[in-house]
Structure 1
Amino acid sequence: MIAKAPLHTTHQPSAGGTGTEVVLNVGPVAHGGHCVARHEGRVIFVRHGIPGEKVRVRLTDAEEKAKFWRADVVEVLAASPDRVDHFWHAADSLRAWGHGHPPVGGAEFGHMTLARQRSLKAEVLAEQLTRLAGVGQLPDGAGPSVEAVGGQDDGGNGLGWRTRASFSVTPGGKLGMHAHRSTHIVPVREMPLAVDAINALRLWDLDLQGIDRVEVAAPANGSRSLVLLAPGPGTKPKRLNAVAAQLPGEVSVATFDPATEAVTQVRGRTWVQETAAGHDYRVTGAGFWQIHRDAPGALVGGVTEFLQDGGFLHPGAVVADLYAGAGLFTAVLADAVGETGSVLSVEGAPGTSRDARKNLHAAPQVEIVQGRVERVLRQKPRNFDALVLDPPRAGAGKAVVGQLVEAQPRAIAYVSCDPASFARDVGYFRQAGWDLSGLRAFDLYPHTHHLETVALLTPRA
């Protein structure tokens, strides 16, 4: 049964139209977790709808001079057959607006079947590749598809996969999450996308006064969890210790500065131990690690399959892992090239680079360098057989792509979490005489609009 939010007047419309409710026909999906609709000639980006539906929406961003508006669905007038009841009340747009407030962000696709979620993600990826990269067809002649990960196709519900979670804190000191593009914090009492170890902490029962943000890491291997507290201005150590005392004794607690990522011990470790592809990895503080419990294995498999099948990764090969983080791909590359090969591992964040040194200290074929990718490649030119490129969400960018092309590797395995920056960079490679020779996409973020891609790029013959 589909809930319908009653019409209400909790939020009065502004002069620009924000708060007004209108009826729309939902159009195609677009990058960013929304669909496109039109109202009186105006483009409106609608969240929580499905293409083909007729809905009533509340305008959430509707300044008169804006090129487009934004809106949330508050009532479904003609539902898609792929619509289901949302699994999480706090993220359910219909229910939340029915109670007079916006839903939390982070589960914006939770109102549709997993199969439809993946088909929409595939549409977005195909559109971005066509528009930004000029790729109309993949090497196999088919369009991109998005693969289920972690048993989603075997009766799975797409829940309980996050090994990391980020929360805000309400003015009253309770756990909460922000609404999309808003400073409004909604209190939460569950996180259905998170693994059991995170929910078992019952962070919503804690008095978090004096804390601005809470980050949690619960490794998929079941090892010791870490709770990171970002203290507000003027918060004293006594208050931090009081928060830590509310948590189970086996959980590590530390403070962190979101601006500098500096981590300070309160109790236990300032790091967690992850396990993937036969290796253990130390990851300090809020250092990067894939958040889906099955993501490391899926991505390592995608990268190594492309490079090994193409003959680019083998004993004695010369390779590099760029934006290497704590060394997830570096360790696997080192295994593949053996002691007769070499691996250059480059990471910009000092703390994460230190983790990589600890994680790879027993691999003499690995050289770990902390610094900007383009600078390191200029300083250490080599005849690379292959490069692994795993940049942040913003992508590599034109300058780095140019540097990679100048390095003249035989192949590049590109790992991306954003289809727009990925497609833009593929366009740069194509302009430089490279081809998209292989592509796989993984649904590592069920119930959200996000996806992960692994691509093989090779110089044009």
Structure 2
Amino acid sequence: MTGESWLGRTFEVEVGPVAHGGHCVSRFEGRVVFVRHALPGEFVLAEVTEDKGGSFCRADAVRVLRPVPQRVEPPCPLAVPGGCGGCDWQHATPEFQRELKARVVEEQLRRLAGIERAVEVEALPGGPLGWRSRVRLVAGRDGRAGLRAHRSHRVVPLEDCPISVPGALEPVLSRRWRPGSELEVTRDAEGHTHVRELSMVRGKRRARQISGGVAVQHAAGRDWKLDAHGFWQVHPAAADTLAAVAGEWARAPRGGLAWDLYAGVGLFASVLAAQVGLQGEVVAVESGRRAVTDGEAALADLPQVRWLPGQVERVLPGLEGRPSVVVLDPPRAGAGRAVVDAVAGRGPERVVYVACDPAALARDLGTFAGHGYRLTALRAFDAFPMTHHVECVALLEPAGNG
């Protein structure tokens, strides 16, 4: 469908079901309208914020004409139409946020993998505010740090951020920066704040460590020292929770072979190493050189862990042996067909898949199903309260098992 742009147009519309991405689906005059700042079942005045033609457009609910009982006042004054784009669901109760995320996971599994499964999204300790330990901000034209508006380069300056760990952003928000600089802030488990500035200087990207640099984290019964701006779970309770679930489901046999793919600094490799013991082997594959270096240092007491630096899809063909269990924790885009094909081709007894995107998870589960693997267990965690993101852990086993 093409025609005159609806950009800026307002109309009253009944809000339909939640969709992946932090919005709900509505329909108006034959077009799909993705509406933010609304909840399913509400009747709102929507204003179109983006229209590229075709069958859909995007809009904000600028006035709620008939709210649902689960609507609340956002704790942040910037979590409104035209404000900060960092949060999606501040206008819903925490319980309803988790219900919405569960609906999204269920829909993605059904649509992309043909899996009908009831999902419960579990809360992590600490509540919906003050959890975000890692934040990337950007300096606006006036040098003030802020976050970008939704689907925009416009910088919304911050006074504070309610979902961030209290006090973590103060060193960045209290001063001016080179306009356009990106500012990475990490608060580690010891309460230390690490700040790095990324900016363009004479056409070259420059990284400057303002404070800290080596973070200390605690998870899986170990202390970890790692690059403060490398990968680590954002929620303080997430790493320990995910490691516990992965260990429970992996059940790597004593003396066996296990693979940890997209290993990061070796969180899951440490759990697998304890299970296989000194007579077994854990192969940890990770593309980030600094992560491998940090992982080797953190797990120096576990000689059964063998590190292989490189991209998973390139390293996999050269791996030998049949692993009893494979743990995958791929980036948001998922593992992809080549990696799934290679893993399934080795015939592991169990695959534990950790995913931060339900659509990518569902696509990869569909590929695994083509190799005879079925989803036997699934847990989902609200590791990103107030946003649309959700963390899932899936257990896959050959269909003939059990």
TM-score normalised by the chain length of structure 2: 0.95
Structure 1 residue 126, shift from structure 2 partner: 0.6
Is contact 1:24-1:54 (8 Å) kept? yes
Aligned residue among 193, 196, 220 for 2:163? 193
Structure 1 residue 225, shift from structure 2 partner: 2.1
Is contact 1:121-1:146 (8 Å) kept? yes
* Structure 1 residue matching 2:321: 3-state secondary structure: coil
What count of residue pairs does the alignment treat as equivalent? 398
Distance of 1:216 and 1:360 partners within structure 2: 26
Aligned residue among 50, 56, 80 for 1:61? 50
Matching of residue 433 in structure 1 with residue 372 in structure 2: yes
- Classify 1:106/1:210 alpha carbon distance in 2 versus 1 (closer, same or farther; 3 Å): closer
Structure 1 residue 113, shift from structure 2 partner: 0.4
Instruction: Quote the residue 2:194 is aligned against.
Output: 226
* Structure 1 residue matching 2:72: 3-state secondary structure: coil
The one-letter code sitting in structure 1 at the alignment partner of 2:149 is A
Distance of 1:272 and 1:414 partners within structure 2: 26
Distance of 1:265 and 1:339 partners within structure 2: 39
Any stretches of 5+ residues in structure 1 without a counterpart?
1-14, 94-101, 138-142, 237-255, 258-262
Distance of 1:183 and 1:453 partners within structure 2: 30
The one-letter code sitting in structure 1 at the alignment partner of 2:46 is V
Deviation string 1:287-340 (CA, Å, 9 cap, x unpaired) is 1110001000111111111123xxxx2432211110001111111221222211
Instruction: Quote the residue 1:117 is aligned against.
Output: 97
Deviation string 1:36-83 (CA, Å, 9 cap, x unpaired) is 0011111010111000000112211023x3331001111100001000
Q: Which moved more, 1:203-212 or 1:394-403?
A: 203-212
Alignment of 1:113-262 (within 5 A): 113-137=93-117, 143-151=118-126, 156=127, 158-199=128-169, 201-210=170-179, 212-222=181-191, 224-234=192-202
Aligned residue among 267, 277, 282 for 1:328? 267
Q: Which moved more, 1:355-364 or 1:449-458?
A: 355-364
Is contact 1:320-1:388 (8 Å) kept? yes
Aligned residue among 78, 89, 93 for 1:90? 78
Instruction: Identify, as 1 or 2, the structure richer in strand.
Output: 2
Structure 1 residue 179, shift from structure 2 partner: 0.6
Structure 1 residue 209, shift from structure 2 partner: 2.6
Distance of 2:28 and 2:226 partners within structure 1: 48
The one-letter code sitting in structure 2 at the alignment partner of 1:213 is E
Any stretches of 5+ residues in structure 2 without a counterpart?
none
Structure 1 residue 92, shift from structure 2 partner: 2.2
Structure 1 residue 274, shift from structure 2 partner: 1.2
Instruction: Quote the residue 2:326 is aligned against.
Output: 387
Alignment of 1:231-380 (within 5 A): 231-234=199-202, 265=209, 269-308=212-251, 313-380=252-319
Aligned residue among 68, 72, 76 for 2:64? 76
Distance of 1:374 and 1:186 partners within structure 2: 39
Is contact 2:85-2:150 (8 Å) kept? yes
Is contact 1:281-1:327 (8 Å) kept? no
Aligned residue among 7, 24, 31 for 2:13? 24
* Structure 2 residue matching 1:215: 3-state secondary structure: strand
* Structure 2 residue matching 1:89: 3-state secondary structure: coil
Distance of 2:345 and 2:203 partners within structure 1: 50
Distance of 2:215 and 2:167 partners within structure 1: 14
Distance of 2:136 and 2:208 partners within structure 1: 18
- Classify 1:73/1:210 alpha carbon distance in 2 versus 1 (closer, same or farther; 3 Å): closer
Instruction: Quote the residue 1:412 is aligned against.
Output: 351
The one-letter code sitting in structure 2 at the alignment partner of 1:149 is L
Instruction: Quote the residue 1:446 is aligned against.
Output: 385
Distance of 2:216 and 2:293 partners within structure 1: 14
Distance of 1:104 and 1:18 partners within structure 2: 20
* Structure 2 residue matching 1:117: 3-state secondary structure: helix
Is contact 1:211-1:231 (8 Å) kept? yes
Distance of 1:49 and 1:352 partners within structure 2: 40
Distance of 2:324 and 2:253 partners within structure 1: 9
Is contact 1:55-1:74 (8 Å) kept? yes
Distance of 2:257 and 2:183 partners within structure 1: 41
RMSD: 1.8
* Structure 2 residue matching 1:399: 3-state secondary structure: helix
Structure 1 residue 266, shift from structure 2 partner: 5.2
* Structure 2 residue matching 1:408: 3-state secondary structure: coil
* Structure 1 residue matching 2:73: 3-state secondary structure: coil
Structure 1 residue 202, shift from structure 2 partner: 4.4
Distance of 2:55 and 2:226 partners within structure 1: 43
Aligned residue among 90, 103, 122 for 2:83? 103
* Structure 1 residue matching 2:306: 3-state secondary structure: strand
The one-letter code sitting in structure 1 at the alignment partner of 2:343 is L
The one-letter code sitting in structure 1 at the alignment partner of 2:125 is G
Q: Which moved more, 1:108-117 or 1:280-289?
A: 280-289
